[in-house]
Structure 1
Amino acid sequence: MTSRLPFVLFLLTPAVALAGMPSFLLTEIATQRFQAISFFLALFLLVTFAVRALWNRLGRDVPRLPKLGFGSALALVFLWGLGFQLVLSMIAGGRELMTPGAWEKKGVTYQLKESELPSEQELVLQARRQRLEELRVALWAYAAGHGSEFPPSDFAPGVPEERWKVLGGSGLHFVYVSGLEADAPATPLAYEPGLFGPERWVLFTDGDIRRMPIASIHEALAAGGTP
């Protein structure tokens, strides 16, 4: 008993624990990928068991169907997955060909880039410019039959009344500068009235259409050309 006493005391005496044991931890991104792969594999196996059970249950009523083992069910689910992946890739490729560069990835899905979606203000500006483009076509058609001269006024026959009206259904006409000729040095020919604020779309005698402050339009008219 006495000979065992030192050994018992050694066991009962607390010793200093040595730290510094190596530990291996995954990074946050690696952990998320590991969890995603684990979830995919678990779901894949669950679908395989379900397909196998449904197939063999159907085989009870249709004796011609061979019994499906786990390996065969696994191969069948894998082939189905490849088929779905092929179809989805074809859809995504066709969408990208029809609208190249317009889609961006958001999470697990894709959506149109915000820069590709015009704001309501931009749509209104485009519609206002379109009205002036329609007037340009009518004015140049008139000038082609009148020795390159534009109509003497915005009420002269030869240009449809609808072409003189600005966007918005207010009935207002574009401000028209008479006495000018087509393809002459760039001079304001018609521009939007004060309804549209300080910056307005302007049609020039050379066919150009641009957006300018009203002060610059007045300067161009006074100078007989662009400022």
Structure 2
Amino acid sequence: MSSRLPFVLLLLTPAVALAGMPSFLLTDVASQRFQAISFFLALFLVVTLAVRALWNRLGRDVPKLPKLGFGAALALVFLWGLGFQLVLSMIAGGRELMTPGAWEKQGVTYKLKESALPSEKELVLQARRQRLEELRVALWAYAAGHGGEFPPSDFAPGVPEERWKVLGSSGLHFVYVSGYKADAPATPLAYEPGLFGRERWVLFTDGDIRQLPIESIHTALAGGTP
């Protein structure tokens, strides 16, 4: 008994822990990637089991369907994933071809660059021009049926009333200059009223549409060059 006493005392005596033991930890980025990959693999297996169960359940009502094993279900889900990836890559490639340089990466997705997004002012400007383009179509259609002559006034029948109205107004018309023919030398035919300030969209008799200050419009109507 006495010979075992030192051994028993050694076991009961607390030892001093030595610090500095090596430990291997992943960085934050690596840890997040590891978690994402683990989640993807777990989800992939769950989807595989679900496809296998649904396929085999359908096989009870359709005897001609072969029974699907786990390996076959895994390959089927993998092929579906490749197909979806191919379609998404084609969509992304087509988007970049149609709007080159307009997209920037933000995280795992893409968004339009701020410079590629038209401002509210630009959108309104485009909408104002669009109204004048619609009037141009109506006026040239009228001229085609009247020997090339435009309507005698903006109240003459043959041009829909809606085509004369400017953007944002229920009754205000474009300023119309009568007495001209289609495809004549460039002269202002219709332009926006004072509602839009000094710079206004102008439709010319040659079909051109430009934005000019009101002083240039008056000069062109007086016979000068706009």
TM class, shorter-length: 0.5 to 0.7
The Cα of 1:194 is off from its aligned counterpart by 0.3
C-alpha change, 1:152 and 1:60, in structure 2 (3 Å) is closer
Give the alignment's Cα RMSD to 1 decimal: 5.8
Structure 1 unpaired stretches of 5+: none
C-alpha change, 1:225 and 1:158, in structure 2 (3 Å) is farther
The Cα of 1:118 is off from its aligned counterpart by 1.4
C-alpha change, 1:117 and 1:9, in structure 2 (3 Å) is same
SS of the residue 1:3 aligns to? coil
| Greater Cα shift, 151-160 or 32-41 | 32-41
Using the aligned pairs only, state the percent identity: 90
SS of the residue 2:4 aligns to? helix
The CA deviation string for residues 104-161 of structure 1, in whole angstroms up to 9 with x for no partner, is 2234321122233211111111111111111111111111122211111111122111
Q: How many residues align?
A: 226
C-alpha change, 1:66 and 1:151, in structure 2 (3 Å) is closer
Maintained 8 Å contact 1:143/1:149:
yes
| Greater Cα shift, 40-49 or 19-28 | 19-28
The CA deviation string for residues 176-206 of structure 1, in whole angstroms up to 9 with x for no partner, is 1111111111000000000011101000000
Structure 2 unpaired stretches of 5+: none
**TM-score normalised by L of structure 2:** 0.60
| Greater Cα shift, 162-171 or 64-73 | 64-73
The CA deviation string for residues 23-67 of structure 1, in whole angstroms up to 9 with x for no partner, is 999999999999999999999999999999999999999999999
The Cα of 1:226 is off from its aligned counterpart by 3.3
Maintained 8 Å contact 1:164/1:173:
yes
Maintained 8 Å contact 1:186/1:225:
no
The Cα of 1:169 is off from its aligned counterpart by 2.9
